[in-house]
Amino acid sequence: MTLPAWKRAMLRLPPLARIAEREGAYRTRIAELEARHTALKPRLQPGFAVAHWVDHLWCDIHGVFVRGWAHAYERPVRRVGLRSGDHRVATGEFIARPDVAAHYPDHAGAARSGFALYLPCPPFAPAFLDIETDDGVVSVPLDLPPHLQRQEPYPPLPPRAIEPFIAEMKARRGAVLEIGARIVGPESFARIAEFTPECRYVGCDIHAAPGVDLVADAHALSAATGCGAFDGIFSVAVMEHIAAPWIVAAEINRALRPGGLTFHVMPHTYPLHETPNDFWRYSDEALKILFGPATGFEIVAAGLRKPIMMAPYPEWRDLQAMEMTSLPGYSTAHVLARKVAELPDGAIAMPAGFDFAARSRAYPAHGAATGDSE
């Protein structure tokens, strides 16, 4: 096969020159596409003004999403479109924007000027907003606006959520039990050094392993430890693997001394791991219930940490799913609670008809840890 002359010429160029040549050809192609689009829409760029703003913009290999507002002062906006190359989408349905109306009180169209558009297409270069009125269309290049280009520095990381628990246990010189003390992956680590020599540390796990002092099912913890045996009980990235966490919360209450503390950190937004025993995801509000008055505790602190954002699967890009790249979930939730009441017998009972002991042992003897460092 004979190569075209321009390709043969490029092969003779040094690498950097080839890149520049390729970029030049790409820019020429984009200019051709825009010229063709202008020829097809002779009313493009009429002589009237529009006001617009982009609140949120993102793209990946599947498409482009933009949310913002646009109005044309005294001219009603009929449609707002999004296009990139030969791909385009438009809407005539607008969202109420009272914030925009407050800035443009003399222009009725500002009140309902919001829009949100998703365009399935290759990564945009370039993309345009088409703001259409009865008098024509204004086309706006969709460059990333300056307020979205600014990269704000991350604030300093706050102290680990577990630090108040460690500090009180050391001050008490108390007895501390860790649920899930086994090393299950390269990112997990033994926490005995964080409590000793001030505290008596006991590592508990469903499987025997180095660093495990007590092999027990957390669903029957107090039977293995005795009641009122510990000043503090904690777990890190374990409660999502507990089949019946409300039972374990009650068992922790029984194994704690009055006034004792319990601390737990667990996933809020996190991939499946250590299956098949990966059951739950928690918010801080869920933890306030799980370790609240019903299980004999009062909340000392609870919260969400480590914002994490995700882009939805392309076929699921509708409604609020579009905002998932800017509305954070959180990697972890945590709770610190104090025992304030003894639970009467039978206050929280094990459900009948399920073999919790057998299912607990199904937790993998070897698995990938979440790597949480709380």
In a domain, 157, yes or no: no
Q: Are 144 and 196 in a shared domain?
A: no
Q: How does residue 329 score in pLDDT terms, banded at 50, 70 and 90?
A: confident
Beta bridge partners of 18: none
SS3 (DSSP) at 257: strand
Helix (H) or strand (E) holding 205: strand 200-205
The count of domains in the chain is 2
Q: Are 234 and 91 in a shared domain?
A: no
Q: How does residue 368 score in pLDDT terms, banded at 50, 70 and 90?
A: very low
State the Cα–Cα distance between residues 113 and 125, nearest whole angstrom: 26
Per the confidence metrics, is the pTM higher than 0.75? no
Domain housing 106: 51-149
Q: What is the pLDDT of residue 102?
A: 92
Name the DSSP class of 267. Answer: E
Within the chain, how many helices (H) and strands (E) appear?
A: 9, 14
Structure tokens at 216: 């027990």
Closest among 138, 99, 142 to 117, alpha carbons compared:
142
Q: Which of 149, 179, 197 is the last residue of a domain?
A: 149
Q: What is the pLDDT of residue 371?
A: 45
Q: Are 272 and 342 in a shared domain?
A: yes
Q: What are phi and psi of 89, to 5 degrees?
A: -150, 155
Q: Are 302 and 171 in a shared domain?
A: yes
- Return the top range by mean pLDDT from 17-31, 118-132, 161-175, 262-276: 161-175
Provide the CATH number for the domain around residue 143. Answer: 2.60.40
Q: Which of 149, 173, 202 is the last residue of a domain?
A: 149
Q: Is the CB of residue 118 less than 8 Å from the CB of residue 62?
A: no
Q: Are 56 and 101 in a shared domain?
A: yes
Q: Are 179 and 301 in a shared domain?
A: yes
Closest among 57, 46, 55, 45 to 113, alpha carbons compared:
55
Q: What is the pLDDT of residue 146?
A: 65
Q: How does residue 258 score in pLDDT terms, banded at 50, 70 and 90?
A: very high
SS3 (DSSP) at 368: coil
Place of tokens 């009725």: 108
State the Cα–Cα distance between residues 225 and 180, nearest whole angstrom: 15
Q: Are 90 and 193 in a shared domain?
A: no
CA distances (Å), 99 to each of 28, 51, 91, 364, in order?
Answer: 41, 14, 21, 53
Q: Are 127 and 178 in a shared domain?
A: no
